[in-house]
Amino acid sequence: MVMKSKKIKSKRVSLKKKYKVIRKVKEHNRKKGKEAKKLRLSGKNKVEKDPGIPNNWPFKEHELKALEARRTKAIEELEQKKAERKERLNE
């Protein structure tokens, strides 16, 4: 069996590799910036999709009921805040 060397490999990098990496990073960041700018100008926001609850999830029905309750509660709170704002404006 061949023994591995116990010496630590040097972390030196040739300047060609160093500058190549810097250039690639710069190009990548520039590309991402252009993409973000394009999305801002078009006015489209990336919407995250709700993965939902898998069918084999234990207590799925219970979880769905709890989720629905949270949604209705949130909607009611929004309506209450809206009503309070209207009252303040009317005073």
CA torsion through residues 65, 70, 76, 78, sign: negative
d(CA 45, CA 48): 9
Per-residue model confidence as pLDDT tens digits over 76-88: 999 999 999 999 8
d(CA 87, CA 76): 17
Residues 6 or more apart whose Cβ sits within 8 Å of residue 13: none
Give the predicted TM-score (pTM) of the model: 0.41
> Which pLDDT score, from 0 to 100, does residue 50 have?
75
Per-residue model confidence as pLDDT tens digits over 1-60: 778 888 888 999 999 999 999 999 999 999 999 998 988 888 777 677 777 888 898 888
Buried b (16+ CB within 10 A) or exposed e, 72-91: eeeeeeeeeeeeeeeeeeee
